[in-house]
């Protein structure tokens, strides 16, 4: 059984998006693409000026966005008529497909806001499909808990806890893991998946080989393999995310990700001439 080790340790880049929301971006900078993952942002602050402007209406085509709230409230509205309020622990898994225009705005004027947004690529055959959502309420999220750790399962399965995202083309795994000091997390991943850990807080050691110290807000790209072993040097919280590569060429254009430049130009044209939302 092949052990999974650390392939690369990446410190996120501070940046802004939307109307000036401060965030830390890891995937989407370097690496620019970790198939099938296009972007990973961590947003979070106790200073309202860092997030209050939010993400006003903007379009997407050809991707899935997975928003996971750890603290604070966000209001969502979109061109399909959908709207809702995300609170701490909630997940919104949006398949943008052929096109959607949506906004994500803080539903709070002060206090701590903290969360993640992950972009997942869609294969060519699904890029122009009808937009769709999966909402996961924190109260209904599948949870594994034992003396050493707690695992919230957004996608995939850990022992008897299984996430609601099923039949997905990249067979995603998305765990939120909290582990006590000096305890371990062990899990078998599919050999063909690309996988990473995003350490939120604390310090961990990954695999059996020596690697640089990793603590707090760090992206850890993993080697392909089967057996993942994580040791907690301190009490720690991290995301484990994994998916099957799509293996198709991509072309990026801001909020649009297609397979060719001409498809990007078409998306821009559709947006400007009012035919973007099908």
- The CATH number of residue 189's host domain is 2.60.120.10
In a domain, 33, yes or no: yes
Q: Is the residue at 128 inside a domain?
A: yes
Write out the chain's pLDDT in tens, 278 residues: 599 999 999 999 999 988 888 999 999 998 999 999 999 999 988 888 889 888 898 999 999 999 999 999 989 888 888 788 999 999 999 999 999 999 988 888 788 999 999 999 999 999 999 999 889 999 999 999 999 999 999 999 999 999 999 899 999 999 999 999 999 999 999 999 999 999 999 999 999 999 999 999 999 999 999 999 999 999 999 999 999 999 999 999 989 999 999 999 999 999 999 888 87
Confirm if 205 and 153 have CB atoms less than 8 A apart.
no
136 within domain boundaries: yes
Question: 49 is written with which tokens?
Answer: 């000026």
Would you state the pLDDT for residue 62? Answer: 97
Q: Does some domain include residue 278? A: no
The verdict on residue 1 lying in a domain is no
pLDDT at 23: 94
131 domain residue, yes or no? yes
In contact, 255 and 61? CB cutoff 8 Å? yes
Q: What is the pLDDT of residue 83?
A: 82
Residue labelled with tokens 């498809």: 263
- Closest to 193 measured CA to CA, from 241, 263, 123: 241
State the pLDDT at residue 1: 56
In angstroms, rounded to a whole number, what is the distance separating the alpha carbons of residues 192 and 190? Answer: 6
Cα–Cα dist 36/226, whole Å: 18
> Structural domain tally of the chain?
1
Domain that includes residue 156, residue range? 6-273
- The upper half-sphere exposure of residue 173, i.e. CA atoms within 13 Å in the direction of its Cβ, equals 22
Question: Is residue 254 included in any domain, yes or no?
Answer: yes
Give this prediction's pTM.
0.96
Token duo for residue 16: 């802004």
d(CA 104, CA 67): 10
């Amino acid at each position: 059984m092949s052990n999974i080790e650390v392939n690369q340790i990446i410190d996120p880049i501070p940046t802004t998006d939307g109307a000036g929301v401060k965030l830390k971006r890891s995937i989407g900078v370097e690496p620019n693409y970790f198939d099938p993952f296009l972007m990973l942002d961590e947003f979070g602050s106790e200073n309202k000026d860092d997030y209050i402007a939010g993400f006003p209406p903007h379009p997407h085509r050809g991707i899935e966005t997975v928003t996971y709230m750890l603290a604070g409230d966000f209001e969502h509205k979109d061109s399909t008529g959908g709207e809702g309020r995300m609170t701490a622990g909630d997940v919104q898994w949006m398949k943008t497909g052929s096109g959607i225009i949506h906004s994500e705005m803080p539903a709070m004027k002060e206090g701590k806001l903290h969360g993640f947004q992950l972009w997942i690529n869609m294969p060519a055959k699904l890029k122009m499909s009808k937009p769709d959502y999966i909402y996961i309420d924190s109260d209904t999220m599948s949870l594994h808990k034992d003396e050493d750790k707690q695992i919230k399962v957004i996608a995939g399965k850990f022992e008897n806890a299984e996430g609601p995202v099923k039949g997905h083309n990249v067979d995603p795994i998305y765990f939120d893991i909290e582990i006590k000091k000096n305890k371990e997390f062990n899990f078998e991943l599919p050999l063909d998946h690309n996988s990473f850990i995003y350490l939120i807080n604390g310090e961990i050691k990954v695999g059996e080989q020596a690697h640089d110290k990793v603590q707090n807000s760090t992206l850890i790209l993993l080697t392909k393999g089967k057996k993942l072993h994580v040791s907690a040097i301190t009490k720690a919280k991290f995301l484990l995310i994994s998916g099957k590569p799509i293996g198709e060429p991509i072309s990026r254009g801001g909020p649009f990700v297609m397979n060719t430049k001409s498809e990007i130009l078409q998306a821009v044209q559709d947006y400007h001439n009012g035919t973007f939302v099908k």
